[in-house]
Amino acid sequence: MKKFMNAADTMVAESVEGFVRAHEAVVMFGSQRKCVRRRELTPGKVAVISGGGAGHEPMHIGFVGRGMLDAACIGHIFTSPTPSQIISAIDETDTGAGCLLIVKNYDGDVMNFEMAMEMVADRHKIEMVVVSDDVETARSGEDRGRRGVAGTLVIEKIIGAAAEQGMSLAQLKALGDRLNGKVRSMGVALSGVTVPQTERATFALGPEEMELGVGIHGEAGHSREPFCTSDVIVEKLCTTIAADIAIPSGAKALLFVNGLGSTPPAELYIAYNAARNFMEQRDIRVERSLVGTYVTSLDMQGLSVTLALLTDEEIALWDQPVATAALQWGSSV
Protein backbone atom coordinates (compact mmCIF):
# COMPACT_ATOMS: atom_id res chain seq x y z
CA MET A 1 0.00 0.00 0.00
CA LYS A 2 1.33 3.41 -1.00
CA LYS A 3 -0.21 6.55 0.48
CA PHE A 4 1.05 10.05 1.16
CA MET A 5 1.11 9.64 4.93
CA ASN A 6 3.57 9.18 7.77
CA ALA A 7 1.79 6.53 9.82
CA ALA A 8 -1.70 5.07 9.87
CA ASP A 9 -2.30 5.96 13.51
CA THR A 10 -1.46 9.65 13.00
CA MET A 11 -3.04 10.11 9.58
CA VAL A 12 -6.33 11.67 10.73
CA ALA A 13 -4.78 14.10 13.23
CA GLU A 14 -2.16 15.29 10.75
CA SER A 15 -4.72 15.63 7.96
CA VAL A 16 -7.14 17.67 10.07
CA GLU A 17 -4.33 19.89 11.33
CA GLY A 18 -3.29 20.54 7.74
CA PHE A 19 -6.88 21.37 6.84
CA VAL A 20 -7.26 23.89 9.66
CA ARG A 21 -3.95 25.58 8.84
CA ALA A 22 -4.84 25.77 5.14
CA HIS A 23 -8.21 27.39 5.84
CA GLU A 24 -7.45 29.38 8.98
CA ALA A 25 -9.38 32.42 7.74
CA VAL A 26 -12.58 30.36 7.97
CA VAL A 27 -12.08 27.68 10.63
CA MET A 28 -10.21 26.97 13.84
CA PHE A 29 -9.82 24.10 16.27
CA GLY A 30 -12.20 23.97 19.19
CA SER A 31 -11.00 23.41 22.73
CA GLN A 32 -8.49 20.55 23.01
CA ARG A 33 -8.90 20.00 19.26
CA LYS A 34 -12.13 18.09 19.84
CA CYS A 35 -13.88 19.73 16.88
CA VAL A 36 -13.34 22.08 13.96
CA ARG A 37 -15.51 25.21 14.26
CA ARG A 38 -16.22 28.46 12.50
CA ARG A 39 -13.73 31.13 13.37
CA GLU A 40 -16.52 33.71 13.67
CA LEU A 41 -19.83 32.68 15.25
CA THR A 42 -23.09 34.62 14.83
CA PRO A 43 -24.66 35.49 18.19
CA GLY A 44 -28.29 34.44 18.53
CA LYS A 45 -28.20 32.05 15.57
CA VAL A 46 -29.01 28.35 15.93
CA ALA A 47 -25.73 26.44 15.73
CA VAL A 48 -25.64 23.70 13.10
CA ILE A 49 -23.30 20.82 13.94
CA SER A 50 -22.45 17.62 12.09
CA GLY A 51 -19.68 15.08 11.97
CA GLY A 52 -18.66 11.49 11.47
CA GLY A 53 -15.63 9.38 10.82
CA ALA A 54 -12.66 10.65 8.83
CA GLY A 55 -12.20 9.34 5.31
CA HIS A 56 -15.10 11.26 3.76
CA GLU A 57 -13.29 14.55 3.18
CA PRO A 58 -14.14 17.24 2.36
CA MET A 59 -17.29 16.23 4.29
CA HIS A 60 -17.74 17.34 7.09
CA ILE A 61 -14.92 19.72 7.99
CA GLY A 62 -14.96 21.20 4.50
CA PHE A 63 -18.53 22.41 5.09
CA VAL A 64 -17.77 24.44 8.21
CA GLY A 65 -18.21 28.15 7.60
CA ARG A 66 -20.72 30.90 6.97
CA GLY A 67 -23.97 29.63 5.50
CA MET A 68 -23.43 25.98 6.41
CA LEU A 69 -21.99 24.30 9.53
CA ASP A 70 -20.85 25.97 12.73
CA ALA A 71 -18.79 22.93 13.77
CA ALA A 72 -17.85 19.42 12.72
CA CYS A 73 -16.60 16.56 14.90
CA ILE A 74 -14.28 14.03 13.29
CA GLY A 75 -13.62 10.50 14.51
CA HIS A 76 -11.02 8.01 13.37
CA ILE A 77 -11.36 6.67 9.83
CA PHE A 78 -14.94 5.43 9.34
CA THR A 79 -15.54 5.72 13.10
CA SER A 80 -18.01 7.98 14.89
CA PRO A 81 -16.77 10.94 16.93
CA THR A 82 -17.10 10.48 20.68
CA PRO A 83 -19.83 12.08 22.82
CA SER A 84 -17.09 14.21 24.41
CA GLN A 85 -16.21 15.70 21.03
CA ILE A 86 -19.83 16.43 20.23
CA ILE A 87 -20.45 18.05 23.63
CA SER A 88 -17.42 20.27 23.12
CA ALA A 89 -18.81 21.44 19.77
CA ILE A 90 -22.21 22.17 21.33
CA ASP A 91 -20.73 24.09 24.26
CA GLU A 92 -18.55 26.21 21.97
CA THR A 93 -21.05 27.10 19.25
CA ASP A 94 -24.37 27.54 21.09
CA THR A 95 -24.74 31.31 21.38
CA GLY A 96 -28.21 31.15 22.92
CA ALA A 97 -30.58 29.84 20.26
CA GLY A 98 -29.73 26.14 20.65
CA CYS A 99 -28.10 23.58 18.35
CA LEU A 100 -29.29 21.39 15.51
CA LEU A 101 -27.30 18.19 15.03
CA ILE A 102 -27.26 16.72 11.50
CA VAL A 103 -26.34 13.04 11.72
CA LYS A 104 -25.90 10.35 9.08
CA ASN A 105 -27.92 7.23 9.82
CA TYR A 106 -25.22 4.88 11.05
CA ASP A 107 -25.58 3.10 14.37
CA GLY A 108 -22.42 4.54 15.93
CA ASP A 109 -23.09 8.10 14.80
CA VAL A 110 -26.71 8.10 15.97
CA MET A 111 -25.82 6.49 19.31
CA ASN A 112 -23.01 8.93 20.14
CA PHE A 113 -24.88 12.05 19.04
CA GLU A 114 -27.95 10.95 21.04
CA MET A 115 -25.76 10.30 24.07
CA ALA A 116 -24.25 13.78 23.77
CA MET A 117 -27.74 15.30 23.51
CA GLU A 118 -28.82 13.60 26.72
CA MET A 119 -25.69 14.73 28.57
CA VAL A 120 -26.21 18.44 27.77
CA ALA A 121 -30.02 18.55 27.92
CA ASP A 122 -29.91 20.51 31.18
CA ARG A 123 -28.00 23.43 29.65
CA HIS A 124 -28.70 23.45 25.89
CA LYS A 125 -31.71 23.26 23.59
CA ILE A 126 -30.90 20.49 21.12
CA GLU A 127 -32.65 18.89 18.16
CA MET A 128 -31.38 16.26 15.73
CA VAL A 129 -32.03 15.47 12.07
CA VAL A 130 -31.02 11.97 10.97
CA VAL A 131 -30.16 11.82 7.25
CA SER A 132 -31.10 8.59 5.47
CA ASP A 133 -30.88 9.17 1.72
CA ASP A 134 -29.21 5.93 0.56
CA VAL A 135 -31.63 3.92 -1.58
CA GLU A 136 -29.45 0.83 -1.36
CA THR A 137 -29.95 0.12 2.33
CA ALA A 138 -33.72 0.09 1.92
CA ARG A 139 -33.38 -2.30 -1.03
CA SER A 140 -31.33 -4.72 1.05
CA GLY A 141 -33.98 -4.82 3.77
CA GLU A 142 -31.67 -3.91 6.65
CA ASP A 143 -33.58 -3.20 9.86
CA ARG A 144 -31.65 -0.05 10.71
CA GLY A 145 -33.00 1.79 7.67
CA ARG A 146 -31.26 3.85 5.06
CA ARG A 147 -27.70 5.09 5.47
CA GLY A 148 -26.86 8.77 5.26
CA VAL A 149 -24.56 9.42 2.32
CA ALA A 150 -24.01 12.24 -0.21
CA GLY A 151 -27.47 13.73 0.29
CA THR A 152 -26.21 14.89 3.69
CA LEU A 153 -24.44 17.75 1.92
CA VAL A 154 -27.71 19.01 0.41
CA ILE A 155 -29.46 19.00 3.78
CA GLU A 156 -26.54 20.66 5.57
CA LYS A 157 -26.38 23.44 2.97
CA ILE A 158 -30.09 24.26 3.00
CA ILE A 159 -30.38 24.08 6.80
CA GLY A 160 -27.22 26.15 7.18
CA ALA A 161 -28.70 28.88 4.99
CA ALA A 162 -32.00 28.81 6.89
CA ALA A 163 -30.15 29.10 10.20
CA GLU A 164 -28.19 32.07 8.84
CA GLN A 165 -31.50 33.77 8.06
CA GLY A 166 -32.63 33.38 11.68
CA MET A 167 -34.94 30.36 11.46
CA SER A 168 -35.73 28.90 14.89
CA LEU A 169 -34.54 25.55 16.17
CA ALA A 170 -38.00 23.99 15.83
CA GLN A 171 -38.34 25.32 12.29
CA LEU A 172 -34.92 23.99 11.30
CA LYS A 173 -35.74 20.56 12.70
CA ALA A 174 -38.99 20.48 10.70
CA LEU A 175 -37.18 21.63 7.54
CA GLY A 176 -34.52 18.95 7.91
CA ASP A 177 -37.06 16.19 8.40
CA ARG A 178 -39.00 17.34 5.32
CA LEU A 179 -35.87 17.45 3.21
CA ASN A 180 -34.82 13.99 4.31
CA GLY A 181 -37.97 12.56 2.75
CA LYS A 182 -37.17 14.16 -0.60
CA VAL A 183 -33.50 13.26 -1.08
CA ARG A 184 -32.29 9.95 -2.51
CA SER A 185 -28.82 8.68 -3.44
CA MET A 186 -27.14 5.58 -4.82
CA GLY A 187 -23.49 4.72 -5.48
CA VAL A 188 -21.40 2.48 -7.71
CA ALA A 189 -17.72 1.51 -7.47
CA LEU A 190 -15.02 0.13 -9.72
CA SER A 191 -12.73 -0.59 -6.76
CA GLY A 192 -12.88 -1.07 -3.01
CA VAL A 193 -11.33 1.13 -0.33
CA THR A 194 -7.80 0.67 0.97
CA VAL A 195 -8.02 1.30 4.73
CA PRO A 196 -4.66 2.52 6.11
CA GLN A 197 -4.87 0.58 9.38
CA THR A 198 -5.43 -2.77 7.67
CA GLU A 199 -3.64 -2.09 4.36
CA ARG A 200 -6.34 -4.17 2.65
CA ALA A 201 -9.14 -3.30 0.28
CA THR A 202 -12.66 -3.62 1.71
CA PHE A 203 -13.67 -5.64 -1.35
CA ALA A 204 -11.93 -6.71 -4.55
CA LEU A 205 -13.30 -6.51 -8.07
CA GLY A 206 -12.13 -8.22 -11.22
CA PRO A 207 -11.04 -6.16 -14.23
CA GLU A 208 -14.50 -6.42 -15.82
CA GLU A 209 -16.65 -6.05 -12.68
CA MET A 210 -18.41 -3.22 -10.85
CA GLU A 211 -20.22 -3.05 -7.52
CA LEU A 212 -23.69 -1.45 -7.39
CA GLY A 213 -25.07 0.06 -4.18
CA VAL A 214 -21.81 0.73 -2.32
CA GLY A 215 -21.64 2.69 0.94
CA ILE A 216 -19.24 5.45 1.94
CA HIS A 217 -17.45 3.25 4.50
CA GLY A 218 -16.26 0.91 1.79
CA GLU A 219 -19.27 -1.39 2.14
CA ALA A 220 -19.97 -3.70 -0.76
CA GLY A 221 -23.25 -3.17 -2.57
CA HIS A 222 -26.21 -5.38 -3.40
CA SER A 223 -24.84 -6.82 -6.64
CA ARG A 224 -21.66 -7.36 -8.58
CA GLU A 225 -22.27 -6.90 -12.27
CA PRO A 226 -20.32 -6.84 -15.52
CA PHE A 227 -18.70 -3.47 -16.17
CA CYS A 228 -20.48 -1.47 -18.88
CA THR A 229 -20.65 2.03 -20.37
CA SER A 230 -21.21 5.10 -18.23
CA ASP A 231 -24.66 5.73 -19.71
CA VAL A 232 -25.83 2.24 -18.77
CA ILE A 233 -24.34 2.47 -15.26
CA VAL A 234 -25.96 5.83 -14.56
CA GLU A 235 -29.29 4.63 -15.91
CA LYS A 236 -29.19 1.76 -13.42
CA LEU A 237 -28.59 4.21 -10.55
CA CYS A 238 -31.20 6.72 -11.69
CA THR A 239 -33.84 4.09 -12.37
CA THR A 240 -33.48 2.77 -8.83
CA ILE A 241 -33.58 6.26 -7.33
CA ALA A 242 -36.63 7.32 -9.36
CA ALA A 243 -38.50 4.15 -8.38
CA ASP A 244 -37.93 4.88 -4.69
CA ILE A 245 -39.40 8.37 -4.43
CA ALA A 246 -42.72 9.91 -5.46
CA ILE A 247 -41.95 12.38 -8.25
CA PRO A 248 -44.83 14.67 -9.28
CA SER A 249 -45.05 15.85 -12.86
CA GLY A 250 -42.86 18.90 -13.45
CA ALA A 251 -40.98 18.40 -10.18
CA LYS A 252 -38.07 20.76 -9.53
CA ALA A 253 -34.84 19.16 -8.45
CA LEU A 254 -31.21 19.49 -7.56
CA LEU A 255 -29.04 16.88 -9.28
CA PHE A 256 -25.75 16.02 -7.57
CA VAL A 257 -23.09 13.71 -9.01
CA ASN A 258 -20.45 13.01 -6.38
CA GLY A 259 -17.03 11.42 -6.70
CA LEU A 260 -16.15 8.82 -4.08
CA GLY A 261 -12.42 9.58 -4.00
CA SER A 262 -10.56 8.49 -7.12
CA THR A 263 -12.87 9.33 -10.00
CA PRO A 264 -11.59 12.08 -12.34
CA PRO A 265 -13.77 15.15 -12.97
CA ALA A 266 -14.14 14.29 -16.66
CA GLU A 267 -15.84 11.00 -15.74
CA LEU A 268 -18.11 12.73 -13.22
CA TYR A 269 -19.32 15.13 -15.91
CA ILE A 270 -20.00 12.24 -18.30
CA ALA A 271 -22.11 10.68 -15.55
CA TYR A 272 -23.88 13.99 -14.87
CA ASN A 273 -24.78 14.32 -18.55
CA ALA A 274 -26.39 10.87 -18.52
CA ALA A 275 -28.22 11.56 -15.25
CA ARG A 276 -29.48 14.94 -16.54
CA ASN A 277 -30.82 13.28 -19.71
CA PHE A 278 -32.55 10.63 -17.61
CA MET A 279 -34.27 13.20 -15.41
CA GLU A 280 -35.37 15.45 -18.26
CA GLN A 281 -36.86 12.53 -20.16
CA ARG A 282 -39.09 11.98 -17.11
CA ASP A 283 -40.24 15.60 -16.82
CA ILE A 284 -38.02 16.32 -13.81
CA ARG A 285 -36.83 19.93 -14.03
CA VAL A 286 -33.21 20.10 -12.92
CA GLU A 287 -33.08 23.61 -11.45
CA ARG A 288 -29.71 23.30 -9.72
CA SER A 289 -26.66 21.07 -10.18
CA LEU A 290 -23.55 20.07 -8.29
CA VAL A 291 -20.73 17.95 -9.69
CA GLY A 292 -17.53 17.14 -7.86
CA THR A 293 -15.79 15.15 -5.16
CA TYR A 294 -17.43 16.15 -1.87
CA VAL A 295 -18.45 13.01 0.07
CA THR A 296 -15.74 10.43 -0.33
CA SER A 297 -14.83 6.95 0.75
CA LEU A 298 -11.05 7.46 0.96
CA ASP A 299 -9.64 6.24 -2.38
CA MET A 300 -12.67 4.44 -3.79
CA GLN A 301 -12.97 4.67 -7.56
CA GLY A 302 -16.67 5.31 -7.86
CA LEU A 303 -19.45 7.85 -7.84
CA SER A 304 -22.94 8.44 -6.53
CA VAL A 305 -26.01 10.17 -7.92
CA THR A 306 -28.26 12.21 -5.62
CA LEU A 307 -31.69 13.55 -6.54
CA ALA A 308 -33.24 16.17 -4.26
CA LEU A 309 -36.80 17.33 -4.96
CA LEU A 310 -37.00 20.93 -3.78
CA THR A 311 -39.57 23.70 -3.46
CA ASP A 312 -38.87 27.23 -4.70
CA GLU A 313 -38.15 28.26 -1.10
CA GLU A 314 -35.65 25.43 -0.65
CA ILE A 315 -33.96 26.27 -3.95
CA ALA A 316 -33.65 29.87 -2.75
CA LEU A 317 -31.96 28.62 0.42
CA TRP A 318 -29.57 26.51 -1.66
CA ASP A 319 -28.68 29.68 -3.58
CA GLN A 320 -27.87 31.68 -0.45
CA PRO A 321 -24.20 32.63 0.03
CA VAL A 322 -21.90 30.01 1.47
CA ALA A 323 -18.26 30.46 2.47
CA THR A 324 -16.59 27.18 3.41
CA ALA A 325 -13.44 25.43 2.30
CA ALA A 326 -15.33 23.09 -0.04
CA LEU A 327 -18.39 25.12 -1.07
CA GLN A 328 -18.22 28.80 -1.96
CA TRP A 329 -20.66 30.99 -3.80
CA GLY A 330 -22.35 34.34 -3.38
CA SER A 331 -19.54 35.56 -1.09
CA SER A 332 -15.80 35.30 -0.60
CA VAL A 333 -13.83 33.45 2.06
Whole-angstrom CA distances from 153 to 10, 35, 117, 143, 249 are 27, 18, 22, 24, 25
Tell me, yes or no, if 76 is annotated catalytic.
no
Q: What angle do CA 171, 173, 178 make, to 5 degrees?
A: 95
Phi and psi, residue 123, nearest 5°: -130, 0
Tell me, yes or no, if 23 is annotated catalytic.
no
- Write out the catalytic residue numbers: 56, 217
